[in-house]
Amino acid sequence: MRTFLLLGAAALPFAQGIRVVQSNDDGWSEGNLRTFFDVLNSAGHEVVLSGPAENQSGTGSSDAPPTTVDSDGCIHASCPGGSPPTGANVTDPRLNYVNSFPVTSIKFGIDVVAPKLWNGAKPELALTGPNVGGNVAIQVPFSGTVGAAVYAVKTAQIPAIAFSGKTGDPTAWNASTTLHSRVYADLALNVTTTIINSGKPYLPANTFLNVNFPAVSDTECNNLSEFKYIFTRINIGLLSARDADWCGSTRLPWETDVVNRDGCFVTISPGDANDKTTVNDAAVQQQIITKLKPILSCL
């Protein structure tokens, strides 16, 4: 399955390698995150992963100094109890844990790990997730995966994309790679490559992308050619100004409606880093549509 999926992903030319910082809220050793790390590296990118030592789902934009790991150790037995507040994989300094929140974790990756490995250079793009479980509507402001992306955009001024996937349970880094992790990593690479190929600035200032992947299974939504990428809104926007003129309408579909449809739909929503709602500026929406046009479809 992995070979087939990568062949599908290769239909979109790989972007020139750039410097990427990764994080999530499910823990630094979670299978979705590690599979995406491997795929990004295979695509030629320089990647630093800095994620929480424990599952920190639902912690939003919380931030606190990291503390010594408790006696239970890191999630999935990925570090022993009593480990220092921050640490790296023994054989790969690109893989880092931070015993605190997702925001604290990505901050550590940006401010400490990346400059050390890249001779003082900062990341060019921040990618969080794929989260275990979707992040739509009311879930968005509480998501640590989204919180880490928003920190990158608003505070570190690094463009960011938050990825979330509907299928799966938390899986250890050293377990067999699951089908959903493989599919989500390849879909995330496709979105990432499209943004990189569009040129800098990768996204408008103070804007992030909230991307949600549908359920996958052995019988459906497991081949890249099945998926359609739909440009959507985080919140429904009944009283908002008109959206960009796209797909014959000036009101973008609500991502929750699209996620709940039958079919293999990937939703991509422009998020405002100030409040984690939809970017309501039609001109900014249009800039992002132009960047994503190579992969976008209409419902």
DSSP annotation string for 159-187 = -EEEEEESS----BTTSPPPHHHHHHHHH
Whose structure tokens read 């569009």? 198
Q: What is the CATH number of the domain that holds 17?
A: 3.40.1210.10
**Does some domain include residue 16?**
yes
- Structural domain of 46: 2-292
**Does some domain include residue 299?**
no
- Upstream peptide bond of 130 is cis (omega within 30 degrees of 0): yes
| Digitized pLDDT (tens) for each residue of the chain, 299 residues in all | 333 344 334 345 556 899 999 999 999 999 999 999 999 999 999 999 999 999 999 999 999 999 999 999 999 999 999 999 999 999 999 999 999 999 999 999 999 999 999 999 999 999 999 999 999 999 999 999 999 999 999 999 999 999 999 999 999 999 999 999 999 999 999 999 999 999 999 999 999 999 999 999 999 999 999 999 999 999 998 888 999 999 999 999 999 999 999 999 999 999 999 999 999 999 999 999 999 999 999 99
**Does some domain include residue 206?**
yes
3-state secondary structure of 3: helix
Whose structure tokens read 């599919």? 183
Q: Are strands 160-165 and 228-231 parallel, antiparallel or unpaired?
A: unpaired
* Helix residue ranges per DSSP H, the chain: 2-9, 31-42, 102-108, 114-117, 144-154, 179-197, 255-259, 282-292
**Does some domain include residue 106?**
yes
Retrieve residue 288's tokens.
Answer: 């992002």
125-132 sheet: strands from edge to edge: 86-88, 95-98, 46-52, 19-23, 125-132, 160-165, 207-213, 265-272, 228-231
Retrieve residue 151's tokens.
Answer: 């920190």
**Does some domain include residue 57?**
yes
**Does some domain include residue 251?**
yes
C-alpha 297 chain-centroid distance: 20
Tell which residue, 180, 184, 168, has the closest CA to residue 133: 168
d(CA 74, CA 250): 47
d(CA 117, CA 122): 10
DSSP annotation of 70 reads: -
**Does some domain include residue 297?**
no
Rounded to the nearest 5 degrees, what angle is found at the Cα of 131, between the Cα atoms of 263 and 295? Answer: 45
**Does some domain include residue 74?**
yes
Work out whether the CA dihedral 151, 153, 159, 160 comes out positive or negative.
positive
Retrieve residue 191's tokens.
Answer: 């979105």
Tell which residue, 249, 259, 209, 255, has the closest CA to residue 234: 255
Task: Give pTM, 2 decimals.
Answer: 0.95
Structural domain count of the chain:
1
Q: Is 175:220 a contact under the CB 8 Å cutoff?
A: no
